[in-house]
């Protein structure tokens, strides 16, 4: 019997943590977030130091976004059927090997090799996250602890990504790029051991089939589920606007506000602090309606961009950034909860994989548009476009989802409505974290 959305709200964060498998997954999520920040910063420093080219660094970021988005659906379908206790640690072990090779390239540099290995590693990471989410659903849904489990994972991820950039900067500055990459490889070994020793990890209810048929089945499931399809389309457009400002934040702070490097760091810190507060807020409000949380957090991010566009000083810009960060911290975990509740049990991993792919592909478009807008006009206009775009996506998406959701959910075999715990709208987070701050746990 499938749990209802009402049953998916657990009264205590401690409930899922009493389960050893989930406890190991939560710790692994935090370690993974720290390792991701360390690896990306070290690679960025390596590429720029060796090439002296901003274009080469941009190529690294595009490779780690676009390539995983294209490869992940096929990798997820390939690795879904085997036992997760073996597959997921194996994927993290592959990441450890990738970063060991990247550490070797720190002394024998090749831009093509670095970008290629980093892109493949990003695809492996996306696959591992999707499979872990599928395991989490299978592990916690029967006891109604899924939403609490998502809150715990979100806290672990957000704290890791907020602390990660500062820690990574210290490690790279103190020990060098090669040592940093080796430490990152070691962190993936730790994660592999954590997952392997977690005990019994349940499989998701995947349907058997050939690779292409399996991938197409996932896309068909999304296409035929009206609410899920509209949700994901809205997410794709929203994420483009969420990430318009990322490549121009440094220009906004230094040239528009005249605040310098310290001001740039303060703005990024303000957004990251807001994300930590947002993740804690979701944990405290985990019994609240997802509809309300998603709508409010999305509008908060749009309003935050408009506030930064109008900010005359750094202090006011930081206040607006905290406001947006809070929304960012609530929204992603609500997004995961929404998709998990809408997707059929046998399609959990593939649907989450699609969500993760969009979270990689759409920012590449947002980065490009934001850079063009700023080069043609100025950073304030980019923030205005981002804010208006986010609010426009909300306005366009709500009429197609509000009101008819309960009836459609019943017809399409999804969870029945239950006292406000109904997902109406979800828009992916993105926003103002540093370029190396991921937005997806």
Which of 7-21, 72-86, 384-398 comes out lowest in average pLDDT?
7-21
For 272-289, give one letter per residue: b (16+ CB within 10 A) or e: bbbbbbbbbbbbeebebb
Locate 230 and state its tokens. 């509209």
Which of 98-112, 113-127, 169-183, 251-265 comes out lowest in average pLDDT?
251-265
- DSSP codes joined into one string, 261-307: HHHHHHHHHHHHHHHHHHHHHHHHTTTS-HHHHHHHHHHHHHHHHHH
Q: Which of 34-38, 53-57, 241-245, 368-372 has the highest mean pLDDT?
A: 241-245
pLDDT tens sequence across 156-192: 888 887 777 778 778 888 888 899 999 999 999 999 9
Q: What is the DSSP letter of 198?
A: T
How many whole angstroms separate alpha carbon 157 and alpha carbon 166? 15
pLDDT of residue 409 exceeding 90, the answer is no
How many whole angstroms separate alpha carbon 351 and alpha carbon 346? 10
pLDDT tens sequence across 16-56: 888 999 999 999 988 998 888 888 888 888 888 888 876 78
- DSSP codes joined into one string, 30-98: HHHHHHHHHHHHHHHHHHHHHH--HHHHHHHHHHHHHHHHHHHHHHHHHHSSS-HHHHHHHHHHHHHHH
pLDDT, residue 430, reads 46
What structural domains does the chain harbor?
A: 14-411 (1.20.1250.20)
**Residues in CB range of 109: below 8 A, 6 or more apart:** 46, 50
Could you tell me the CA-to-CA distances from 263 to 277, 309, 382, 385, 438 in Å, in that order? Answer: 21, 16, 19, 23, 21
CB-count burial class (<10 Å; 0-12, 13-18, 19+) for 304: buried
Terminal C-alpha separation, the chain: 28
Assess contact for 308 and 320: CB atoms under 8 A.
yes
Instruction: Pick 289 or 241 by higher pLDDT.
Output: 241
Using N-to-C axis directions, what is the helix angle for 54-79 and 20-51, rounded to 10°?
Answer: 150
Reported pTM: 0.76
Mean pLDDT for all residues in the chain = 81
- Confidence band for 206, pLDDT divided at 50, 70 and 90: low
pLDDT of residue 307 exceeding 90, the answer is yes
CA atoms within 13 A on the CB side of 170: 5
pLDDT, residue 103, reads 95
Percentage of the chain exceeding pLDDT 90:
28
Cα 349 from chain centroid (whole Å): 15
Instruction: Please report where in the chains the tokens 């979701």 appear, as a residue.
Output: 282
pLDDT of residue 306 exceeding 90, the answer is yes
Short-list 369, 389, 349, CA closest to 234? 389
Question: Is the dihedral angle over the CA atoms 160, 69, 294, 320 positive or is it negative?
Answer: positive
**Residues in CB range of 372: below 8 A, 6 or more apart:** none
Dihedral in degrees, nearest 10, Cα atoms 25, 27, 32, 34: 160
What is the helix, strand, coil percentage profile of the chain, to 5? 80, 0, 20
- Confidence band for 407, pLDDT divided at 50, 70 and 90: very low
How many whole angstroms separate alpha carbon 297 and alpha carbon 334? 10
pLDDT, residue 8, reads 41
pLDDT, residue 130, reads 87
- Confidence band for 205, pLDDT divided at 50, 70 and 90: low
**Residues in CB range of 208: below 8 A, 6 or more apart:** 81
Assess contact for 282 and 330: CB atoms under 8 A.
yes
How many whole angstroms separate alpha carbon 151 and alpha carbon 92? 23
How many whole angstroms separate alpha carbon 274 and alpha carbon 35? 21
pLDDT tens sequence across 317-337: 999 999 999 999 898 788 778
């Amino acid at each position: 019997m499938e749990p209802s959305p009402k049953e998916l709200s657990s009264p205590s964060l401690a409930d899922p943590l009493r389960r050893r498998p989930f406890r190991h997954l939560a710790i692994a999520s935090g370690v993974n977030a720290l390792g991701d920040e360390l690896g990306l910063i070290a690679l960025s420093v390596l590429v720029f130091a060796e090439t002296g080219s901003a274009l080469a660094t941009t190529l690294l970021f595009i490779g780690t976004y676009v390539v995983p988005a294209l490869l992940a659906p096929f990798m997820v379908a390939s690795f879904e059927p085997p036992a997760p206790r073996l597959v997921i640690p194996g994927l993290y072990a592959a990441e450890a090997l990738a970063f060991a090779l990247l550490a070797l390239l720190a002394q024998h540099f090749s831009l093509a090799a670095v970008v290629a290995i980093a892109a493949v590693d990003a695809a492996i990471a996306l696959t591992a996250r999707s499979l872990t989410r599928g395991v989490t659903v299978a592990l916690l849904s029967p006891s109604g602890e899924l939403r609490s489990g998502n809150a715990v994972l979100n806290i672990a991820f957000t704290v890791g990504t907020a602390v990660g950039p500062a820690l990574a900067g210290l490690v790279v500055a103190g020990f060098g790029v090669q040592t940093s990459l080796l430490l990152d490889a070691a962190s993936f070994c730790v994660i592999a051991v954590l997952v392997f020793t977690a005990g019994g990890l349940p499989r998701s209810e995947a349907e058997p089939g050939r690779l292409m048929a399996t991938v197409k089945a996932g896309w068909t499931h999304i296409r035929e589920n009206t609410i899920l399809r509209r949700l994901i389309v809205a997410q794709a457009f929203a994420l483009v606007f969420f990430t318009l400002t990322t490549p121009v934040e440094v220009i906004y702070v230094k040239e528009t506000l005249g605040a310098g490097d310290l001001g740039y760091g303060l703005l990024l810190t303000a957004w990251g602090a807001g994300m930590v507060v947002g993740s804690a807020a979701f944990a405290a409000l985990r019994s609240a309606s997802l509809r309300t949380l998603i709508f409010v957090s999305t509008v908060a991010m749009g309003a935050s961009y408009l506030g930064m566009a109008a900010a005359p000083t750094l202090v006011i810009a930081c206040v607006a950034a905290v406001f947006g960060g809070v929304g960012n911290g609530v929204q992603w975990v609500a997004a995961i909860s929404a998709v998990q509740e809408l997707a059929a049990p046998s399609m959990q991993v593939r649907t989450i994989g699609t969500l993760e792919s969009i979270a990689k592909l759409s920012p590449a478009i947002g980065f490009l548009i934001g850079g063009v807008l700023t080069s043609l006009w100025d950073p304030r206009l980019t923030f205005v476009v981002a804010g208006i775009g986010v609010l426009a996506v909300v306005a366009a998406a709500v009429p197609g989802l509000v009101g008819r959701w309960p009836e459609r959910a019943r017809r399409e075999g999804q969870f029945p409505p239950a006292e406000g715990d109904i997902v109406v709208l979800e828009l992916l987070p993105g926003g103002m974290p540093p370029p190396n701050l991921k937005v997806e746990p």
